[in-house]
A and B are shown apart, each in its own frame.
Chain A
């Protein structure tokens, strides 16, 4: 069965430092992969997605992610974290075809930013 694992439940970084959030997936074919962010009281906002092609994808708010098939990973990165990036981050994989697919989410990583 498809699954998504986010090994880090909680991460703390200093403002201005770089960030990498890990995501591993299990899926037989080329997956559709996503990163979402959830701030308190807010719904999920899509940061970026990977379907095919260039394995390094750019998203909103200065985030990027790299798809590595050999490692079954889709890690999220940001070169310099801002205090406003503190939130919950979810990696997800699409199960099923595009128009009927459902998202399978990881457990999430809580990002805390120190001033």
Chain B
């Protein structure tokens, strides 16, 4: 049973560029959440996708956008990159079950460096 996978593993970009990160959820999962983890910090929630729509969003600017595909995989897009966007980006998937907590399973992350 494949867990959550993310690509690429590492990425180097320059300021002002745009980046796309990808996530495949754990088999059977239909909900994807994205987190940003800056160096020395805990992960911060960016947004969550369910049924191909953004269901909830954290305190991140509009430069951060996402998409969920019919196969439940997801992309995170960041435009106009800033040095402060350098971080580990984590994807977490879960199975939607109304009325109960849906455990989130995390991928290994994509390390983004902005120069």
Contacts and interface: CB of A to CB of B under 8 A. Distances in A.
Contact of A107 (B33, B42, B55, B108): B42
Nearest to B90: A43
Main secondary structure of the interface of B (DSSP, over half): loop
Contact of B99 (A36, A44, A92, A99): A99
A105 B76 CA distance: 20
Interface in B78-114: 90, 92, 96-104, 106-109
A100 B55 contact: yes
Contacts of B107: 43
B42 A108 contact: yes
Q: How large is the interface on B (under 10, 10 to 19, 20 to 34, 35 or more residues)?
A: 20 to 34
Interface of B: 4, 33, 35, 40-45, 48, 55-56, 58, 90, 92, 96-104, 106-109
15 contacts: A32-B101, A43-B90, A43-B106, A43-B108, A44-B106, A45-B106, A99-B96, A99-B101, A100-B55, A101-B101, A102-B45, A103-B104, A104-B45, A105-B43, A107-B40
Interface residues of A, number: 26
Contacts, number: 59
Nearest to A36: B106
B4 A43 contact: yes
Nearest to A94: B101
Contacts of A105: 42-44
A90 interface: yes
Interface string A40-57: 011111100101000000
A103 B45 contact: yes
A98 B100 contact: yes
Interface of A: 4, 32, 36, 41-46, 49, 51, 90, 92, 94, 96, 98-108
B41 A107 contact: yes
A99 B45 contact: no
Given A96-B56, A100-B56, A105-B43, A43 B102 contact: no
